[in-house]
Chain A
Amino acid sequence: KAGVTQTPRYLIKTRGQQVTLSCSPISGHRSVSWYQQTPGQGLQFLFEYFSETQRNKGNFPGRFSGRQFSNSRSEMNVSTLELGDSALYLCASSPGGLGNQPQHFGDGTRLSIL
């Protein structure tokens, strides 16, 4: 069973640009969550999508946005990039139904802002 796939693995951008990251969840999983990991900060929750709707949102500025498609694939967009946006962006999927279930992570996209 294929795991969570994130593309691209590495990305270099400059300040002011925008970027789109992609995530393909495990087959059958309908919930996709995005996290930002920076050194010493752990994983900070960005947002969660379920059935093409944003179900939860973290405390990030509006420059960070996302969407989910009918096949549960998700994209995250960051506009007007800042140096502080350099981080590892992780996507996680879970079945998303009722009850507690673990999330399964992809290997992330490492974004570097010059």
Chain B
Amino acid sequence: DQQVKQNSPSLSVQEGRISILNCDYTNSMFDYFLWYKKYPAEGPTFLISISSIKDKNEDGRFTVFLNKSAKHLSLHIVPSQPGDSAVYFCAASAQGAGDMRFGAGTRLTVKP
């Protein structure tokens, strides 16, 4: 079953603008959420994470927002750069478990 969903398979934004990637989850036991970035022929690279005790975490141009009541998280990239073009996966896990559940990914294209 799809416990983590990314409903937008692709997103295209202009360089310098904001990119917003969305993710929904169904399992209320999830308490740790992550975003990964993946380039072709490489493994996913960890980007940013957030614990369920927070609703926002920021790291440079990347901010993750968590809305527990809506079971929704989003990744904001500001400003977007062409090098950000990649597939972005959201992931979630429960209580430190090693079995992360991933969304299907959103392909972000940042146009110069």
Contacts and interface: CB of A to CB of B under 8 A. Distances in A.
Interface of A: 4, 6, 31, 33, 35, 40-45, 47-48, 50, 55-58, 90, 92, 94, 96, 98-108
B46 to A, nearest CB: 4
Interface residues of B, number: 27
B93 A40 contact: no
Nearest to A103: B100
Given A43-B100, A96-B98, A106-B43, 7 more contacts: A43-B44, A45-B99, A90-B43, A99-B96, A100-B96, A105-B36, A107-B41
B12 interface: no
Q: Tell me what chain A mostly uses at the interface: helix, strand, loop, or mixed.
A: strand
Nearest to B31: A100
Contacts of A33: 98-100
Given A42-B103, A102-B46, A56 B98 contact: yes
